[in-house]
Structures are given as structure tokens and as C-alpha cells.
Amino acid sequence: MDTNNLKRKINIYINQDTIVRGDVIFIKSLSERIKSVRFQKKTYYPYFVDNAYYVFLPTTYNSSINKQKIEIEMGDSLYSYAYTFFVYVKKNHFKKSKVHFSQHTKQLFNKKGIDKERTNLLSLIKSNSTFKKISPPEIIPVLGKYRITSPYGAMRVDENDKPLWHHSGVDFGAETGTPIISPSEGIVLFADSLILQGNCIVIDHGAGIKSVYFHLNKLYVKEGQVVKKKEIIGSVGATGLSTGPHLHFGIYVNGKPINPLNFIKRRFK
């Protein structure tokens, strides 16, 4: 390798070196091609947008903690080289929240077609972004009064304290009909009714970032529609498996459910 290569301006941004489970690490390279990034036993590939390479690395409530390695492979077909960075993942506590389902909602779990709907929804969430920009969610999507009724990562337990699952998003309790707005630009991947999720929207914001909205009263967008930041996409409701009117809002990064509120607080520019 000639010395020019060694002196080449390294222009990699990593937005933070200490995170908690549910946070996202953001890598951007302006001058050099990122081939792939290895993190927590998974390989991620970059999105190339506006002459830069972007990789968003998700962590979830289940992620390994303490010192974690990020291996970035750079280069092209002629040469390649790697950088290794470390990030510290702090252990955070996810509180328990009891869920009580009525007989009616319990019956929903036995409905035919639930498994197929879940598989289809997950494959949509895990698919590569087709939106050609990067527009990470920046605002809370409830336009009006709300209170957070269940935070991200909360361990759902049943009446007998038996653990069920971690909450994959945030629940905003609000009056039925409260407008829901898109937290950033994107393309609607899905807008339809599902058994458990009720009226549901999935938006692709580019670079593997997707947002989901469950239990809506009304849907105001259609599949394939491009939405602007703050555009009204639906309204709060209690459709599907829901104990009262609320919005379940989730953000997925490369297929993994991350902490939406922490994600919104950060600036990925």
C-alpha cells in the first residue's frame, strides 16, 4: 500500500461511544466506500445516498452489554482494509408491566391467519429500504395530548407474573381520533387492517429505518404513497389487540426494534 493510502483522510463518523440497549449507532463515510460492518454477530451493508455511505447499527432490549466491537470493512474490489472500534453498551433496566386481556382480546390470539400476518409484517419490516433518501424520524407522531402508557422494552407479564414478551415500541395513550403524523419523510409500505395490530401503517424512511403504527382508528394513507414530515397519516384508535385507545409506535432499524424515543432525541445528520 502506498503512503497516500495511509494518509488518506479518514472520514468516518460514529455518533456515540456509550449507549444503552435500544440505542442506535450511526456510521457515515464520505470519502471511502464501506463494504460491510460487523456488529454483535451480524453483518450490515451500507446504503449509498447523496455520495456517502451510511450504516445504522441497532441494539435492542436483548442485546449483549459491556464492551462491543464494531468492525468496519472498507475499500473496493482492488483493495480492502478494516477499522475496529469499540462501543460500550450500558445495562439498563426495563420495567415490568402487567397486561390484562379480556376474553374478547384473548380470542383474537386464536384467530386463523395470525401467524401468516405476523410473518408477512416481519418480512416487510426486515426488507431492504426502497426509499432512496435517508429521513430518520425526528418527532413524536401524536398531534395532541398523550401520555406514555407503556415504554419501550417493558417486560409484559400476565396476571400470574409470567413473562410474555418485551414491548417492541412505545404506547401513547390518547383520545380516539387524535391525529397521527409522520415523524419524517418516507414511503408507505403498508396501510391495512390486521387481526392483532388493528389498522396498521408501515413507513420506510430509507437506510433500513422503518416506523410502524398500530391500533389506528382511521388510515389516511395508501401503500406506495410518499409522505412528508408532519403529514397526517391516520388517527388514534383501539383496533386489534388493544385495551383502550392508544398508538403503538415502533421504529425498526435493519429489522430490529429499537427505542423510538431515544432515536428521535438524537440527531443523525
Q: Which residues bind Zn ion (CB under 5 A)?
A: 171, 248
Ranges assigned E (strand) in 31-182: 34-39, 42-44, 47-49, 52-58, 66-75, 80-90, 96-98, 147-150, 155-157, 163-166, 170-173, 179-181
Cβ at position 214, least distance to Zn ion in Å: 7
Cβ proximity to Zn ion, 27 vs 142, nearer residue: 142
Grid coordinates in use for 109? 390470539
Cβ proximity to Zn ion, 89 vs 170, nearer residue: 170
Tell me the H-state helices in the chain.
3-7, 103-108, 114-126, 260-265
CA distances from 183 to 49, 74, 116, 220, 267 (A): 20, 32, 28, 15, 13
Tell me the H-state helices in 75-226.
103-108, 114-126
Cβ at position 242, least distance to Zn ion in Å: 9
Cβ proximity to Zn ion, 36 vs 105, nearer residue: 105
CA distance 29 to 74: 10
Cβ at position 169, least distance to Zn ion in Å: 5
**Among 72, 12, 26, residue whose Cα is nearest residue 266:** 26
Cβ at position 171, least distance to Zn ion in Å: 4
Cβ at position 19, least distance to Zn ion in Å: 23
The strand pair at 209-216 and 226-227 is best described as unpaired
Residue nearest to Zn ion (CB): 248
**Among 190, 40, 214, residue whose Cα is nearest residue 130:** 190
Cβ proximity to Zn ion, 22 vs 46, nearer residue: 22
Cβ proximity to Zn ion, 54 vs 146, nearer residue: 146
Cβ proximity to Zn ion, 32 vs 171, nearer residue: 171
- The count of C-alpha atoms lying within 13 angstroms of the C-alpha of 177, restricted to the half-sphere facing its C-beta, is 0
Cβ at position 154, least distance to Zn ion in Å: 9
